[in-house]
A and B are shown apart, each in its own frame.
Chain A
Amino acid sequence: MTQTSPQGQRPAVSFEDRMATVDFRVAERAHITVDTDVCRSCEVRACVHACPAALFVPTDDGGILFNYEQCFECGTCYQVCDAPGALTWSYPEGGHGVAFRQG
């Protein structure tokens, strides 16, 4: 399911393939949690499009589904979220999480 990039040289990389280039050492415990009840009343939802890893997914019932496994630990969601109590944010336990090689 690849589409050709405008350069016509190489197929465009899907978001899934893009994330597959990054090494993650997933911790058992989620380092970020999302209170979907709070998110339900949020109209801004800056996290949904600002998160560079696209980890915030709106659900049919108006909530937010969040995956911590492929988190860059950048802090974007934590900084752009204006809804008190929507996010709890910490770093993954030592040695876990993203491990960049070409940063």
Chain B
Amino acid sequence: MTEEVHDVRLQVNGATHAVTVPARRLLSDALRHDCGLTGTHVGCEHGVCGACTVLMDGRPVRSCLVLAVSAEDTEVTTVEGLAEDTGEDDTVLSPVQQAFSDCHGLQCGFCTPGFLTTITAGLRANPDPTEDEARDMIAGNLCRCTGYQNIVKAVLRAAELTREGR
């Protein structure tokens, strides 16, 4: 019993990963285990928690509901691709990441990559959200630790940082 495999080129965070995967391999697994990008987390594997959210051509998708083979010809951004590479010692946090740090928007950090990608896309669509819109933006992601208040604050703070040109 041999499983048929496919050669797939995944464009992730600006780099190309050539992977060989069975048709049933989830994008979340391919990113984590084949590309070694373990920042994308899997909390439920059934599309409910949002922890595995990545951007595909800029749009947030749940990578546990996407097959790796179908991600070919798309541009994937994971949490590892959010910070700005300055060529210095370390990367500079994006406004959304910085806002999470400022507002204590994370505790265990497991849900965080999914929130960061979701909000990054959300703020592109709506750069100046009201508090209600900020809540809406994250209403599809589960966090078991923070109670969300500080995440809502972080959304608003990220918008502020972005406006300030940070």
The answer to whether A and B interact is no
A-to-B contact residues, CB < 8 Å:
none
B-to-A contact residues, CB < 8 Å:
none
